[in-house]
Amino acid sequence: MTTQMRPFRSVLYIPGSKDRALDKARGLPVDAIIFDLEDAVSPDAKVEARGTLRAALEQGGYGNRYKIIRINGLDTEWGAEDIAALLDAPADAILVPKVNSAADIDAVKTLLGNDTPIWAMIETPAGVLHSSEIAAHPALEGFVAGTNDLAKELNCRTRPDRLPMQMSLQMMLLAARGNDVIAVDGVYNQFKDEEGLRAECEQGRDLGFDGKTLIHPAQVAVTNECFAPSEAELDLARRQIEAFEKVEKSGQGVAVVGGKIVENLHVETAKKTLAKAAAIADLDAE
């Protein structure tokens, strides 16, 4: 399965320093895991965490989950050593915090010295403003919205509708979609609030995000449900394709489903919906 076809509905942060959390993650039905060496690890545990995380990754057991290592920033005393210590660890990508420009990706690429895909946390005003050039970098594979840090930097209020954040989120998405980059929404902090989580997942999905980052296993089921095509959406997609192909073969009339005209662009979207559902089924089956 290619990365572009792979689902990224649920992307769970796991502290790279905690053996119990690293082990529990092996059994969680998430699409991807961010093994965190940054915010989730205290300064006095950061050096030891590298060895703990490497041992867990080498032990394996994470199945088909996409494995992303979030390093500390290169402007800290730990970032470069994180890369050196985990350079050949069995992971799929490196996530870089507080990326402000494409130059930050260049710096990580130089230290990696290989073709490991790089993901960028977009969590600063500069990162948002330069998101297009960051997304265009050939080593860049994915964006993660760092909404907590971004809210702090913007000095904006936290609201259920995330209105103060909308322009930033949409700029990230425009950059991602313009460069075929994966885009994952930020975390929802109130992990016991299922209704609030569902509303924010639905908003992120409707905006165009591929999935959502999570801070707790209790958030996985709702997120997987929200970012997967519903049965009604799959049924509509099949009917749109069938109606369009029928009209196309006959060479007459215009395809109509549910009182709405179906054009080629709708069929393309319908096929993508079915392909996403198939990819999710394949991932779950594996």
Q: What number of other Cβ atoms are within 10 A of residue 135's Cβ?
A: 25
Residue 216 burial (10 A CB sphere; 0-12, 13-18, 19+): middle
> Could you tell me if 243 and 41 are in contact, meaning their C-beta atoms sit under 8 angstroms apart?
no
Can you give the residue ranges of every domain in the chain?
Answer: 10-226, 231-285
> Could you tell me if 69 and 92 are in contact, meaning their C-beta atoms sit under 8 angstroms apart?
no
Measure the CA–CA gap between 24 and 252, rounded to whole angstroms: 57
Considering the entire predicted model, what is its pTM?
0.94
Measure the CA–CA gap between 203 and 161, rounded to whole angstroms: 8
Measure the CA–CA gap between 29 and 98, rounded to whole angstroms: 28
| Confidence bin at 25 (pLDDT 50/70/90) | very high
| Confidence bin at 165 (pLDDT 50/70/90) | very high
Q: What is the pLDDT of residues 227-239, one digit of tens each?
A: 999 999 999 999 9
> Could you tell me if 154 and 171 are in contact, meaning their C-beta atoms sit under 8 angstroms apart?
no
Collapsing DSSP states into helix, strand and coil, what is residue 213? strand
> Could you tell me if 274 and 237 are in contact, meaning their C-beta atoms sit under 8 angstroms apart?
yes
Q: What is the pLDDT of residues 206-217, one digit of tens each?
A: 999 999 999 999
Measure the CA–CA gap between 259 and 221, rounded to whole angstroms: 34
> According to the model, what pLDDT value does residue 1 have?
52
pLDDT over threshold 70, residue 3:
no
DSSP 8-state code for residue 25: G
Measure the CA–CA gap between 268 and 276, rounded to whole angstroms: 12
Q: What is the pLDDT of residues 93-152, one digit of tens each?
A: 999 999 999 999 999 999 999 999 999 999 999 999 999 999 999 999 999 999 999 999
Classify domain 10-226 at the CATH topology level.
Answer: TIM Barrel (3.20.20)
> Could you tell me if 49 and 17 are in contact, meaning their C-beta atoms sit under 8 angstroms apart?
yes
Task: Output the DSSP codes for 142-189.
Answer: EEEE-HHHHHHHHTPPP-TT-GGGHHHHHHHHHHHHHTT-EEEE---S
